[in-house]
Structure 1
């Protein structure tokens, strides 16, 4: 067949059309250049793009892909032909093996950064040096024998770029690297190279998968939005909405006047240069619209490409995204990204077609999941995973965080172990990513107090006269019961009964799901005539939304209602109860819970009761336990000295004291300590070469320095990273439309159809711990669809009241697979 004289990158599933290797490499180079240009590293990213599949210029790979598609029964096993090492080896051979002077070091460092991205593009970034004192990177580019390497090298220079032009191109990349490293003298070269490597890796992964998807679909790239024009129209719609508020009957109320003043301050502040700022609007102060007003105006003035909201809980995503969609009148350009639905593994395999059709795993990888949307709502877990989690699916999105306004809603919820990693990521985005970052909360954490501090801009607070604003927003009285007596659920039911004599609506927030569920069962027995609702993370987003809508209807109609919930309700959920009972926790949680009481000041001053619940097992909830201890200490201070902290548990003085104590007591945890290897993640990723214990041990053992300038352990760090203490897996549940989604995932889909389906499925997912998955599997409640790539629950494993039922006993019957 004449057509097979060309070297093949891909063979299209539907019509067996061929994409040549040179076409794929040049197209990926162009895309990667566009992604890299955003932060001034166009040629560094382009270098990765043009070399990543150089190893496909071989007879071996050509025969491999021909057999895989046309005679699959004769095909070698997937991944037996290594095509991802050759490009990294070429860079290493040309620019790393012949270092003669200090002038050669930038080129060698470039070969390490780009070479690692290239050799890793089917798995995750390799360690330069690991705990076994080995270099997986050197093993690939220096020691591994690559079949037909000379042929692939010759074909690359013949078909993609001549040796002369390649040399000139690398010179430009070296200039970019030098400029990059000269920025921000306060950070180590290792830290800057780590973030640059991850950015280049992100650009390569997204460029490679985007080009492959477009070829497979036979489509041209989608036309890009005119971001400035889009944000301008959004801003006009938002201002029309804000102006309509002024016509409401209560527009002149004290709180609404204050809300409008703070919104105006955000609008004015948007004219300031990009930086890292704080927006400390009190709970109920309208920070969603105020921060959106800042973001839309700032995006227009400073040419930002997207606006990203990062929140701690999916509950806030659903509420805020719905609110923003209504105001901006756009259902297309606003993306909610709750979680990764696809089962995540090491993804360490070659991505080529088998049996004449594209593999299911390949379709899942190519599904558009790269955060290329003008407005994105996502979670803190997803944000941190983008920088630090294993695999290629998360990091693919990283480059799209650049040139953005990023709003961290309820930023105080950053997990303690991730503080240093979080601060470092934000510092990179501000200094290199051309981002403006807003830390949005009523309770600002002391992120500039810790060792790896956040570089907050001078005069960072957007709201003026903050103490006066906080005082003006006072709508509740905090009542300390926690230091006087302890509660269990039986005592709590009696206390709720007392409060029902004075309040028509009561919200109880407790620290653990099991105690919440037990209290709910006692309440519905005791108060059968009063609508009582249960909320927890065992319920999918769509389910929680339904419950919250019912609760809001009762509140709006001033009907009696009780709601018992875990902490998911306290950060940003727009509800207003006449009474709140909060189990003792961190001071920030107490403040957020208070924000669910008398939210709009419509009921004068109402009471928020702080109790100490003896049935909560906090042994595995270290941060809540420590926060509870510090809050109790501050409460006792106020008992002894009523004028301390300005006489107010929620004052700025008390909050600063709380966070500094919290971070000091947990200082050993701030750098993400991994007990399995007795090292901090922050050291694995960013430690200076001179301080790196692996590097020192290597020298002692081998009597020589390792032949690398970078010694970071990227792969090891990713292997151990997870935002929460235990790894969770997303599972689609059979709730409402979730049933249809599960059924549909048993069918074959185009990549475009699959992308839409996976986005829709996020409303019907729950994140489960491994022991919960194991129990469900044991009880017959867990299945997989889409060729084992996506977990789903059977009917019996999801309860209409509580959500996930680990016993698989909620209803009879189930799906037939």
Structure 2
């Protein structure tokens, strides 16, 4: 009898269970090699769909495809438990065998979870969902499935030998020195195996569905060598442009730091800091390090991570111009597809569109990836198989964290531990790139940086050499409302060519923009920027701004998104009081290239900003104000400047001290830290302590942590947001039209990637208001949300009142 794994939609061709299991095993092994766990990953691959070796599943899938009306109810046939149950039965019985039990737990959890998310080993109800599936659940055709597996995939003797190899890999993994405890090591290993399994399973299924074979991976070393040659050609061409360019002090410093990055790239992989001041050419310098290090040390990916509060188009555009290889450069802003709560155990009962969405390639396998801090943290800690699928591709990579000081306080420990894992086990090199290095080694779960971590020597000299602005304190002794601020801006624009105003909330930005537009009229161009606008919209606005700078007077009013990753230079900057890192970043948008005399950055206290729900900005503002007061009293304090190395160090230590109880991601509903749920040992695990008290015995498990409970409560930002596509411009409308039609998996993959440029994030109250006003439409079986045209404004983006002045609707 042919047992069926999948039936191809197009021609009803059958992929047997044996073909699928061996195919997934092979791909998973390749992924596992990156971390020295080939057999552990391969074990998950060969067992994950063992439950399809049953007559019940064969009849189910046949009916689902050929006679949908009479097929069994979706959810009635469990095929993902069997593989985990086999491991538990053969290797998790009797006297505890440390490595065999751990293998059964790590791999078994990945297997039983591969259509949803990892299970808890012990949860708040003092239940073990893992044991309920692997030990307690009865599968009526389990013996039949086991017999078929040993007959057609791997005989029992060879299988036991394979598991023994996996145990040896686990032992070596756990013995490797790391700043992470044993429970943390097992947690990250489980997530890596889960990632490898999810990607291998979906890749093999996609290839079968498209009737293709596994693509040959390009020689990344040769590719990165060609990229490095292109980059050096660009860098070496700079002095030839004009004689003045070569003589410019700023540009000589930029070249000096770039050369330093090139030399440093030869060192072993590790966690390093690159403290180039704003305007110091971080993008090209860090790219130089990344490409050279990738060539020297055999890395597979170069990944740039930027803050969730900024935009990544500029970095991507700059890199694309140099490398000239668009197909190999992936920009990933957000997850367009909503799948965190998916449980697709019976994927063969899905609609065609659901199946396409699941298989669409979304795994960060590109040579060069640019994404956000939110997406990076989601890979490790958020629920949803689409997130964790990417984790294994973070290994054997060079990862550059641009503006790393933007890591949310609640995520500091989680961030540090994920980097420690990638350094110790993932063979990755991590570069923390910012002018304002946060004190990440000052906290309890410290970052395991290299002992000689800083790439740029003599930092104080470099900071002083880059001085192009003077920070003027207008926040200590007075406050500004919108009216007073508008008058101040008019005063400054009469003195200089360009003024940038950065405020802390979208509400005051929009209010100031409207007020200035009415008072100045068309005399001076005024531009608005906020996260209410999609990436493509913001890029168009920034292009207009750059085109007009130094040619005409202009005013730009923005939220803090303009502070990081945007190469733009104004004559004057006004910054609403916030953390010192934000003030320093704002200063980096003023006189950026040092082409004129010292310019001024004014720090003001905007009295109309509501920061009650922005705890980090509010706390940063308080610490920064205290330092400004100190400097007003005595200029010798804090290195004599809010932009000094000493001031930044003092700021971050005081800032993190204010949030000491929040650094481990506290979950109010559970009254537990997320670090506790993920990495607490047996003695300190609160659920285990309760379980032992109640049952007078401990669970027969090595791992007792709560992976799913932690993921269900994880949000990088406090409020849950939803990605929606907006109809900005002809291209935005075209993307929406294509997603609303029928496309192949490859075409859908391209469209979803393009849709990244046309997405914004809605907070729950925004989504609710838009829905009530009829401003939202769902596509693709409800997996993709789209904003209607009359709810998006070409001037300032999202319009919650659903009245944007133009009424051409495509729906």
Shorter-chain TM range is over 0.9
Output one character per residue of 1:600-637: Cα deviation in whole Å (capped at 9) or x when no partner: 01121000000000000000000000000000000000
**2:46 equivalent in structure 1:** 50
Q: How far 1:185 sits from its partner (Å)?
A: 5.3
**Partner residue, 1:422:** 415
Name whichever of 176-185 and 542-551 sits farther off.
Answer: 176-185
Tell me which residue corresponds to 1:780. 774
| Corresponding position of 2:689 | 696
How many angstroms does 1:345 deviate by? 3.6
CA distance in 2, matches of 1:332, 1:124: 31
What's the secondary structure of 2:760's corresponding residue? strand
1:766-777 alignment to 2 at 5 Å?
766-777=760-771
Deviates more, 1:340-349 or 1:772-781: 340-349
Cα distance in structure 2, aligned partners of 1:633 and 1:342? 44
Query: Structure 1 residue aligned with 2:321, among 298, 322, 326?
Result: 326
1:763 aligns with 2:757: yes
Answer whether contact 1:124 1:715 (CA < 8 A) is retained. yes
Contact 1:315 1:544 in 2 (8 A): no
Check whether the contact 1:578–1:603 (CA below 8 A) recurs between aligned residues. Answer: no
Match of 2:675 in 1: 682
- TM-aligned CA deviation for residue 313 of structure 1: 3.9
Tell me the equivalent position of 1:457.
450
CA contact (8 A) 1:638 1:644 kept: yes
CA deviations 1:419-478 (Å, max 9, x no partner) are 000000000000000001100000000001100000000111101111101001000000
The correspondence for 2:527, drawn from 518, 533, 544, is: 533
Q: Is the 8 A contact 1:315 1:541 kept in 2?
A: no
1:235 aligns with 2:228: yes
SS in 1 for 2:654: helix
Match of 2:490 among 473, 488, 497: 497
CA distance in 1, matches of 2:658, 2:445: 16
1:502 is displaced (CA, Å) by 1.2
Deviation at 1:130, TM superposition (A): 0.3
- CA distance in 1 between partners of 2:718 and 2:757 (Å): 24
CA distance in 1, matches of 2:716, 2:781: 28
Q: Note the alpha carbon deviations across 1:570-628, whole angstroms, 9 max, x for none.
A: 11211100000000000000000000000001121000000000000000000000000
Paired with 1:185 and 1:650, the residues of 2 have a C-alpha distance of: 35
Report if the CA contact (8 A) 1:794-1:814 is conserved.
no
**Structure 2 matches for 1:367-386, cutoff 5 A?**
367-386=360-379
State the shift of 1:814 in Å. Answer: 5.1
Match of 1:548 in 2: 542
Residue 24 (structure 1) aligned with residue 20 (structure 2): yes
Query: 463, 472, 478: which is aligned to 1:479?
Result: 472
User: Could you tell me how far apart the structure 2 residues matched to 1:374 and 1:419 are?
Assistant: 28
Return the offset for 1:358. 5.5
Contact 2:789 2:810 in 1 (8 A): no
Question: What whole-Å deviation, never above 9, does each CA across 1:672-711 have from its counterpart, x for those lacking one?
Answer: 0000010000100011111001001001111111111100
Match of 2:371, SS? strand
TM-fit CA distance, 1:416 = 0.6
| Partner SS state of residue 658, structure 1 | helix
Q: Is the 8 A contact 1:65 1:352 kept in 2?
A: no
Corresponding residue of 2:156: 163
The residue number in structure 1 matching 2:72 is 76
Match in the other structure for 1:738: 732
CA distance in 2, matches of 1:752, 1:72: 26
TM-score (norm 1): 0.98
* Residue 314 of structure 1, CA deviation: 7.2
Structure 1 spans left out of the alignment, 5+ residues: none
1:709 aligned partner: 702
Give runs of aligned pairs for residues 595-744 of structure 1, distance below 5 A. 595-736=588-729, 737-744=731-738
Aligned to 1:436: 429
Contact map agreement 1:389 1:718 (CA 8 A) in 2: yes
Q: 2:304 is matched with which residue?
A: 309
Distance of 2:592 and 2:672 partners within structure 1? 45
- Cα separation, 2, equivalents of 1:602 and 1:338: 33
Q: CA deviation at 1:80?
A: 1.4
Aligned position for 2:137: 144
Q: What SS does structure 2 have at the residue aligned with 1:634?
A: helix
CA contact (8 A) 1:410 1:441 kept: yes
Partner of 1:296: 291
Residue equivalent to 1:792: 786
Match of 2:263 among 260, 265, 268: 268
Counterparts of 1:636 and 1:765, CA distance in 2: 41
How far the C-alpha of 1:812 sits from its partner, in A, is 4.8
- Cα deviation for residue 741 of structure 1 reads 1.2
Is residue 302–residue 398 contact of structure 2 (8 Å, CA) maintained in 1? yes
**Structure 1 position 352, deviation (Å):** 3.0
Matched with 2:579 is: 586
Structure 2 partner of 1:184: 177
Q: How does 1:109-258 map to 2 (within 5 A)?
A: 109-184=102-177, 186-249=179-242, 250-258=245-253
1:340 to 335, 339, 344: 335
- SS of the aligned residue for 1:271 comes to coil
CA distance in 2, matches of 1:151, 1:319: 57
The reply to whether residue 747 of structure 1 matches residue 741 of structure 2 is yes
* Number of residue pairs matched by the alignment: 807
**Aligned partners of 2:551 and 2:632: how far apart in 1?**
35
Q: In 2, are the aligned partners of 1:314 and 1:338 still within 8 Å (CA)?
A: no
Contact 2:116–2:345 at 8 Å: present in 1 too? Answer: no
- Equivalents in 1 of 2:390, 2:435: separation in Å? 29
Question: Could you tell which deviates more after superposition, 573-582 or 72-81?
Answer: 72-81
Contact 2:180–2:421 under 8 Å retained in 1: no
Q: CA, structure 1 residues 147+360, in 2 after alignment: closer, same or farther (shift >3 Å)?
A: farther
1:10–1:352 contact (8 Å) kept in structure 2: no
TM-superposition CA deviations, 1:492-543 (whole Å, max 9, x none): 0110111112111000000000000000001111212100000000000000
* Farther-moved stretch of structure 1 (767-776 vs 403-412): 767-776
Structure 1 residue 816, shift from structure 2 partner: 4.8
| Cα distance per residue 1:171-198 (max 9 Å; x no partner) | 0000000000001254321010000000
Q: Give the equivalent residue in structure 1 for 2:461.
A: 468
Selected match of 2:81 from 85, 98, 121: 85
Q: Aligned partners of 2:339, 2:19: CA distance in 1, in Å?
A: 30
Distance 1:111 1:520 in 2: 60
Moved more, 205-214 or 337-346: 337-346
| Structure 1: distance between partners of 2:532 and 2:759 | 10
| 1:545-584 alignment runs, 5 A limit | 545-555=539-549, 557-584=550-577
SS at match of 1:283: coil
What's the secondary structure of 1:353's corresponding residue? helix
Corresponding residue to 1:94 among 79, 90, 95: 90
Say whether the 8 Å CA contact 1:9–1:24 is kept in structure 2: yes
TM-score (norm. length: structure 2) = 0.99
1:76: Cα distance to partner? 1.3
- In 2: Cα distance, 1:462 partner to 1:345 partner: 39
Q: CA deviation at 1:558?
A: 3.0
Aligned counterparts of 1:522 and 1:658: Cα–Cα separation in 2: 34
